[in-house]
Amino acid sequence: MKALFFIIIFVVLIVACWQFVKLLGLTKVDNQTATEKENNINGWLMLGLMGFIYGLMIYSMYGAKDVLLPRASASEEGYHIDNLFVMTMTLILVVQFIMQFLLFFFSFKYRGIDDRKAFFFADSHKLETIWTVIPTIVLSGLIIYGIWTWNNVMDSSDAKDPIFIELYGKQFQWDARYAGEDNQLGSANVRFIEGTNTMGVDMTDKNSADDIPLVVNEGKFVKELHVPKGRKVIFKIRSQDVLHSVFMPHFRAQMNAVPGMVTEIAFTPVITTAEMRLNEDTKAKFEAINELRKEKGEEAVEFDYLILCNKICGSSHYNMQLKIVVDEEADFNKWLATQNTFAQINNK
Amino acid sequence: MSDHHHKETFVTKYIFSQDHKMISKQYLITGIVMGCIGVFMSMLFRLQLAYPEQSFSIIEAFLGRAGEGGVMTPDMYLSLVTIHGTIMVFFVLTAALSGTFSNLLIPFQIGARDMASPFLNMLSYWLFFLSSVIMLLSLFIETGPANAGWTIYPPLSALPQAISGSGLGMTMWLVSMAIFIASSLMGALNYIVTVLNLRTIGMKMTRLPLTIWAFFVTAIIGVVSFPVLLSAALLLIMDRSFGTSFFLSDIYIAGEVLHYKGGSPVLFEHLFWFLGHPEVYIVILPAMGIVSEVLATNSRKPIFGYRAMIISIIAIAFLSTIVWGHHMFVTGMNPFLGSVFTFTTLLIAIPSAVKAFNWITTIWKGNLRMNPAMLYSIGFVSTFITGGLTGLILGDSAIDINVHDTYFVVAHFHLVMGVSAIFGMFAGVYHWFPKMYGKMMNKDLGYLHFWLTAISAYGVFFPMHFIGLAGLPRRYYNNTAFPIFDDLLHINKVMTIFAIIGGLAQIIFLANFFFSIYKGKRAPKNPWHANTLEWTTEVDHIHGNWAGEIPAVHRWPYDYSKIDENGDLWGGQDFTPQTVPIRDGEEEF
């Protein structure tokens, strides 16, 4: 019934506008297209809109600087991505400023005056050539640099002594498995899922025995995925049910988890969690966050690297996360030694 | 044809009409209704995003059990974004935009009495109507409408165990879309045949207004790509209902292993985006055509670089069919393909830049008449530039990695295809309303409508880029599970306030539109002093468009402010309609 009430309000508003039109209609001089006065007002308003857009751009950039991700990429590969990003963004901002200026300034400057003649100017090969060739050159540069970066980031075939970790997505949590001593992940398929073997690892595969699963603990932030600083981590990604996406924004890394196939993404962490907590950007951001949380009576939080799910996967898609801890390599090895391999778990 | 003017009954005139003008109005009204529903949904989920745990009686009123206590459920949130996307992309910006203006303008502007097949045209509208009804009915079923996102990626969309909306809701979505595609194909084939065959004497392809070029090329991309979505939908129906494994493999859900083996969701993504990317050009090209026409008419200047504009439309259309992979950089597709799609995608920026420069040059040294249609066209160019530029980031595989599927993408495509195409559509409505209804719309309300809409469009979508850069993924019911996003809440609030202003501003348009149909001032024959053929027809619609002979065409449509050798305006007026023969000593452009 309430919906009906809202619809009635909506209709009443339309009728109110309708009555307003009637009033305007009575006082209106008959002129189909815009009058000089209207051209003038709207011309000035166009300048105003330009001001609004510029203001919004500057204000957003200024105001958003504290809410963005820390500028320092937590992975080596991320540096290249960030360079390309900054270059492209600079180009975009320059072009945006110029183009919007020309558009709105011309809209203002050439606002109609009754006895002015427009300039018949239908074509100019010279101009058109200029603005076909210049974007072509600029874009060629972007394309070459972009593809170079992409290949750099995606190709991990020449990695020295990488560590393999499997990430396994399911509604609505991330599981993980380290490749163990032989640095080879045992094969797996959902058809092996049984009892405690929740990731469907093939226990008869000789590579499986030394694999180390991240022990399943329900609830958030109980599980921690540790990775070593300075060593390439190659993630092998699987999904149990629907599409998920491993999104690690601080490392500039993202890859979908696709049921029926294994996907891959790799990076070399270069900043430990402890170091990132001391980063200026992070400190500023978390001070602001904790201020807000205090107002709401929530407890203070500390920075942590995260995996978020970034492909719609069901009702609780908005809360599918895993904490990542980047350790110095020695600490990482110490931590890994405390974890149980499948062989140890199964023999218990 | 005008001579067999048989008597029309109410049903053949207003309901099962075969007249292109009536069908065009039917498309527009249906589109407006669907658009209101789509926009209203967005206002509901914007409330949820800005005020995550607060109760709103409007949410409870409209969502019922899914909004108990005034807070919507996560499933309902996902349903709203899914149906909002579907309605806006397909029902409003594809069907209503092309359907309204292609139907209205193709026969009018090429000088034809009607479409090549009026019957097919009628069928096309009624299939569209049927698919709209099915889509809306799916809002009322027990398990809720489809909620796997408008891209309906399987397995989520294939398995009712995975999410509630993938039961009956998804079935209805697929049936509705299958009918929609049939409708869209009938329309598109009709447009192509009509443009190729029914042009009046003298109307060479190089004398067509840019609107017609845009509709024509749009229809071609539609015919090429929509069947692929139909095939994807049919295969998905097979997977869902008949146990095949086209898109599914190795799935364990709700405690059991499903029998599917050997399929791949990535195949679906390829099929979907093979339509999905051309689709955004199906949406934007007609708007570009409309804007080109309106800018030239109201600048009292020829469109700059007519031939370059045609070439860039064709180039965009061609490139649009070979760039779909840029939606799939992080799906596990071979990285080599990522390089290929980066290359083709960034190339699209070239014809797009040419178009933007040409529009700006068109208004340079013009004598701009700032009527509402003109304001919307200038607004279109502005949002197209702002939204289009960030495409350079999303189309570049390496930097796409970290913004893929975040709000940065949402901001990008809302500006470049959502807001821009809607602006193009509004420009079209304000410009051709006199031709559709024989009445003038109220200008003051038009101004108010534009300024509120333009400010709120930027207010919603500009800050949205930044929450995307902060790493916030799209399609999150709320962000409270991640403390790192706590500081984005106030930005969300600002965006929601602008969204509500923008949504309410549309009431002004609705009132103006419906008021003017009944009570608007009677329109003169050629209110904007435009050159194209539709303004040579009578104000009141007649069957067959022209009472006598169809006029012959002697020149291109953009002879505005043309001067003779003495520097005076040709014929003493600043426009020369296409029907005026080339005069002595005049050079044809």
What is the predicted pLDDT for the residue at A220?
Answer: 43
Sheet holding A321-327, edge to edge: A224-228, A321-327, A305-309, A244-248, A253-257
Provide the chain A residues 39-98 that lie in CB contact (below 8 A) with chain B. Answer: 39, 41-43, 45-46, 49, 52-53, 56-57, 60-61, 64, 66-69, 78, 80-81, 84-85, 88-89, 91-92, 95-96
* Chain B CB contacts of A128 below 8 Å: 305, 308, 354, 358
What is the predicted pLDDT for the residue at B6?
Answer: 61
Query: Taking all residues of chain B, what is their mean pLDDT, rounded to a whole number?
Result: 92
Task: Give the C-alpha separation, B404 to A242, whole Å.
Answer: 18
CB atoms within 10 A of CB A207: 16
Tens-of-pLDDT digits for all 348 residues of chain A? Answer: 677 777 787 777 777 777 776 666 655 545 667 888 889 999 999 999 999 999 999 988 887 778 899 999 999 999 999 999 999 999 999 999 999 999 999 999 999 888 888 888 888 899 999 999 999 999 999 999 999 999 989 988 888 889 999 999 999 899 999 998 888 999 999 999 888 888 899 999 889 989 998 865 544 445 789 999 999 999 999 999 999 999 999 999 999 999 999 999 999 999 999 999 999 999 999 999 999 999 989 899 999 999 999 999 999 999 999 999 999 999 999 999 888 888 888 886
CA-nearest of B579, B589, B574, B581 to B534 is B579
CA-nearest of A317, A315, A324 to A257 is A317
Enumerate the β-bridge partners of residue A255.
A246
Task: Give the C-alpha separation, B472 to B131, whole Å.
Answer: 34
What is the predicted pLDDT for the residue at A149?
Answer: 93
Flag if A92 and B393 touch (Cβ within 8 Å): yes
Q: With bands split at pLDDT 50, 70 and 90, how would you rate the model's confidence at B315?
A: very high
Residue B169 has pLDDT above 80, yes or no: yes
Task: Give the C-alpha separation, A118 to B404, whole Å.
Answer: 45
Contact B286, B97 (CB under 8 A): yes
Taking the CA of residue B171 and the nearest CA in chain A, the distance in Å comes to 17
What is the predicted pLDDT for the residue at A233?
Answer: 95
Residue B20 has pLDDT above 50, yes or no: yes
Average pLDDT over residues B244-258: 92
Q: Is A154 on the interface with B (CB under 8 A)?
A: yes
More confident residue, B337 or A11: B337
Q: What CATH fold (topology level) applies to the domain B17-263?
A: Cytochrome C Oxidase; Chain A (1.20.210)
Nearest to A260 among B249, B305, B451 (CB): B249
- The sign of the CA dihedral B388, B392, B397, B398 is negative
A213: DSSP letter: E
Q: Which residues does B362 contact at the CB level (< 8 Å), separation at least 6?
A: B292, B295, B296, B299, B301, B302, B303, B304
Contact B447, A38 (CB under 8 A): yes
Q: Is A157 on the interface with B (CB under 8 A)?
A: no
**Residue A295: in which H helix or E strand, if any?**
helix A280-295
CA-nearest of B82, B144, B87 to A317 is B82
Flag if B156 and A2 touch (Cβ within 8 Å): no
What's the distance, CA A242 to chain centroid?
A: 20
Cβ-Cβ pairs closer than 8 A, A with B, add up to 430
Flag if B398 and A259 touch (Cβ within 8 Å): no
What is the predicted pLDDT for the residue at A62?
Answer: 85
Q: Is A36 on the interface with B (CB under 8 A)?
A: no
Contact B127, B179 (CB under 8 A): yes
Flag if B330 and A255 touch (Cβ within 8 Å): yes
Q: Is A310 on the interface with B (CB under 8 A)?
A: yes
More confident residue, B381 or A16: B381
Write down the domain spans for chain B.
17-263, 291-517, 524-589
Q: With bands split at pLDDT 50, 70 and 90, how would you rate the model's confidence at B5?
A: low
Name the pairing type of β-strands A321-327 and A253-257: unpaired
Residue B175 has pLDDT above 70, yes or no: yes
DSSP E strands, B90-153: none
Q: Which residue of A has its CA nearest to B444?
A: A24
Q: Is A278 on the interface with B (CB under 8 A)?
A: no
Q: Which residue of B has its CA nearest to A35?
A: B369
Q: Is B455 on the interface with A (CB under 8 A)?
A: yes
Enumerate the β-bridge partners of residue B257.
B252
Q: Is A144 on the interface with B (CB under 8 A)?
A: no
Average pLDDT over residues B69-77: 91
* Chain B CB contacts of A322 below 8 Å: none
Query: Which overall architecture, per CATH, does domain B291-517 show?
Result: Up-down Bundle (1.20)
The string over B239-253, giving b where at least 16 C-beta atoms fall within 10 Å of a residue's C-beta and e elsewhere, is bbeeeebbbbbbbbb
Contact A139, B349 (CB under 8 A): yes
Domains of chain A: 163-347 (2.60.40.420)
Q: What is the per-residue DSSP string for B439-478?
A: BPPPHHHHHHHHHHHHHHHHHHHHHHHHHHHTTPBSS-S-
Flag if A259 and B381 touch (Cβ within 8 Å): no
What is the predicted pLDDT for the residue at A25?
Answer: 60
Backbone angles phi, psi at A158, to 5 degrees: -100, 15
Name the pairing type of β-strands A163-170 and A173-178: antiparallel
* Chain B CB contacts of A38 below 8 Å: 370-371, 443, 447
What is the predicted pLDDT for the residue at A157?
Answer: 84
Flag if A84 and B399 touch (Cβ within 8 Å): yes
Nearest to B510 among A14, A56, A95 (CB): A14
pLDDT tens readout for residues B88-117: 999 999 999 999 999 999 999 999 999 999
